[in-house]
Amino acid sequence: MHRLQRLLLNPSAKYAAVFLSVVIAGFCMAQNTRTSGSEQDVFAVNQALGSGINLGNMLDAPVEGEWGVSFQDEYAQIIRKAGFRHVRIPVRWSAHAAGQAPYWIDPAFMKRVRHVVDTCLKAGLHVVLNVHHFEEIYTTPEEQEARLLAIWKQISAEFRTAPNELIFELLNEPQAELTTAKWNRMIPTLLSEVRQLHPNRVIVIGGGRWNSFEELEQLQLPDSDRMLIATFHYYHPFEFTHQGVDFLKETPPPPGRKFPADESEVRSIKSHFTIVSQWAAKNKRPVYVGEFGVAQTAAQSDRVRWIQMIASEASDRGFSVACWEFCSQFGLWSIETGLWNTDIIRALDSVGAKQEAGSPSKDR
């Protein structure tokens, strides 16, 4: 008799075999839920985002054009041809949504956003569409929560049939009164609203203090939702990246700041990225550096060095990135000349090429 048949005829061995097969089946199911489908997909989507650029200061200005730049249809092709794989589109919905329930968004504005999104998708770019500069929610979060929910209800309805290449980002840079703790309480409600029409769409979420990397540790993303990408923004050292800019409430850091000021600056940048990648490994979440950039007031060689370093630290750890931004104060492309800052594009290309060759992750 075959050894297995003999075993199965023995009653205690039979129970043991049944028990064993239940355990094995359970183990296989657990393996399946851990490795199959959604979780894999969201990492693949993050890889597909690769390197992108923010269409900054356009639809996030109080009125498009007020900050000197507005979206032109040809920008999508210019960006795609330069090798970027996605655009992040910051949108100030709150300037175009009623102050009272049901907080209707101006249909003309919705149409304009739709046009910008569709133009970028048609150019073969992934699109990250967010809620940007919602100033009121940063100062009075409790009062504005319903408004943010209503804004997402309307965005969800408008883009309900959009392709998977469209990604949503719930809120840019929670800050001031909107602490990570308060933001954590809003996330599940917002997600369930969006998930009604977009059960599988990838959604980007970051923590408080202007999407600081240090807040990720406190950020609570619902465990059951595996279609999320965590984000943080990176502008360290601020005195370098924001030297001489004219939009800060406080006096801007003086121009002339070099990068790196010393070796410890390089070490601290690397350690910040390592902290995030350890968080990502522990929490099994893909990571997106949704903003990083240097104002044009910095010296060109330092600007190139910093951007290359950040892109490289990110790509070594499998993070996707989006430069801040296309053609304004931090811009990589000039409206006047119609030319890219080729040194920066070359620096980003060298990182992209390394990424495609599959460089190993540093900290996992």
Q: Within 10 A of 222 (CB to CB), how many other CB atoms are there?
A: 14
- List the one residue out of 56, 66, 74, 52 whose CA is nearest residue 338: 74
User: At CA 201, angle to CA 117 and CA 195, rounded to 5?
Assistant: 115
Q: What is the nearest approach in angstroms of ligand BGC to the Cβ of residue 110?
A: 21
Minimum Å gap between C-beta 327 and ligand BGC is 13
Least separation, in Å, of the C-beta of 20 and ligand BGC? 56
The CB-of-299 to ligand BGC minimum distance in angstroms stands at 18
Q: Which is nearer to ligand BGC, 174 or 318 (CB)?
A: 174
CA R_g for the chain: 23
Task: Examine residue 232 and tell whether it contacts ligand BGC (CB under 6 A).
Answer: no
Q: Is 64 in the site for ligand BGC (CB under 6 A)?
A: no
Kindly state the tokens that stand for 194. Answer: 């969006």
**DSSP bridge pairs for 1:** none
Nearer to ligand BGC, 60 or 316 (CB): 60
Residue ranges in 336-355 that form contacts with ligand BGC under rule CB under 6 A: none
Spell out, one character per residue from 118 to 157, where the chain touches ligand BGC: x when CB under 6 A holds, - when not: --------------xx------------------------
Cβ closer to ligand BGC: 60 or 313? 60
Selected binder of ligand BGC within 64, 165, 173, 215 (CB under 6 A): 173
Q: What would the two tokens of residue 173 be?
A: 């840079």
Q: CB-wise, 51 or 211, nearer to ligand BGC? A: 211
What's the Cα-to-Cα distance from 20 to each of 12, 15, 23, 32, 138, rounded to whole Å? 12, 8, 5, 18, 55
Minimum distance, C-beta of residue 139 to ligand BGC, in the bound complex (Å):
16
Which residues have a Cβ under 8 Å from the Cβ of 149 and sit 6 or more positions away?
189, 190, 193
Candidate residues 64, 291, 313, 316; the one interacting with ligand BGC per rule CB under 6 A: 291
Round to whole Å and give the CA distance between 65 and 151: 22
| 324 touching ligand BGC, by CB under 6 A | yes
Q: Scanning residues 41 to 60, which ones bind ligand BGC (CB under 6 A)? A: 60
Among left, alpha and beta (phi > 0; psi -120 to 50; other), residue 65 is left
Identity of the residue, 60 or 64, whose beta carbon is nearer to ligand BGC in the bound complex: 60
Q: Which residues does residue 320 pair with via DSSP β-bridges, in sequence order?
A: 288
| Inter-residue contact 321 to 51 (CB < 8 Å) | yes
Size of the site for ligand BGC (CB under 6 A): 6
Q: What gap in Å lies between CA 186 and CA 125, rounded to an integer?
A: 30
Q: Provide, rounded to whole angstroms, the least separation between the CB of residue 201 and ligand BGC.
A: 23
Q: With respect to ligand BGC, which residue has the nearer C-beta, 133 or 209?
A: 133
Q: Would you say 173 or 313 has its CB closer to ligand BGC? A: 173
**Tokens (6 digits) for 267:** 């070490």
Contacts of 141 (CB under 8 A, 6+ apart): 177, 178, 182, 183, 186
Round to whole Å and give the CA distance between 71 and 90: 12
Minimum distance between the CB of residue 172 and ligand BGC, rounded to whole angstroms?
6
Tell me the closest approach of the beta carbon of residue 276 to ligand BGC, in angstroms.
18
The helix or strand, by DSSP H or E, that contains position 2, with its residue range, turns out to be none
Assign residue 243 a region: left if phi > 0, alpha if psi is -120 to 50, beta otherwise? beta
**Cα(180)–Cα(168) distance, rounded to whole angstroms?**
19
Distance in Å, CB of 328 to ligand BGC, minimum? 8
Instruction: Give me the least distance between CB of 205 and ligand BGC, in Å please.
Output: 15
Residues that bind ligand BGC (CB under 6 A): 60, 132-133, 173, 291, 324
